[in-house]
Amino acid sequence: MRGWLVLTGAVLLIIVLPIIALTYSGWVRLVGQIVLSILLILALIGSGLFGYICLRAQAKKWGAGLFIIAALCIVVIYWVWVGHLPLL
């Protein structure tokens, strides 16, 4: 029973929250932006840290891939708050 609750929460955070953050306005959008930014910052920290560990362990392809994911997280955070992609 607890597994379904976790799965439902994950689906809400991953699918529903970005839609709310990008389509609604007012305080609902602000809450969506804050929660989505927190999730993206956690992904940024995790992928950056694991990418550094991979580079130190001579797994350069994995490390480079994880740093690309970290860069994409930064771009998405910018897009969520500003409303358009950088340099466009």
| Distance in Å from the first CA to the final CA of the chain | 46
Per-residue pLDDT of the chain (88 residues; tens, 9 = 90+): 677 888 887 777 777 777 777 787 888 888 888 888 888 899 999 999 999 999 999 999 999 999 999 999 899 888 888 878 777 6
77 domain residue, yes or no = yes
Residue 3 is assigned to a structural domain of this protein: no
- Residue 4 belongs to a domain: no
Domain of 36? Answer: 9-82
Could you tell me if residue 34 is inside a domain? yes
88 part of a folded domain: no
Domain count, the chain: 1
Whether the model pTM is above 0.85: no
Instruction: Classify residue 63: in a domain, yes or no.
Output: yes
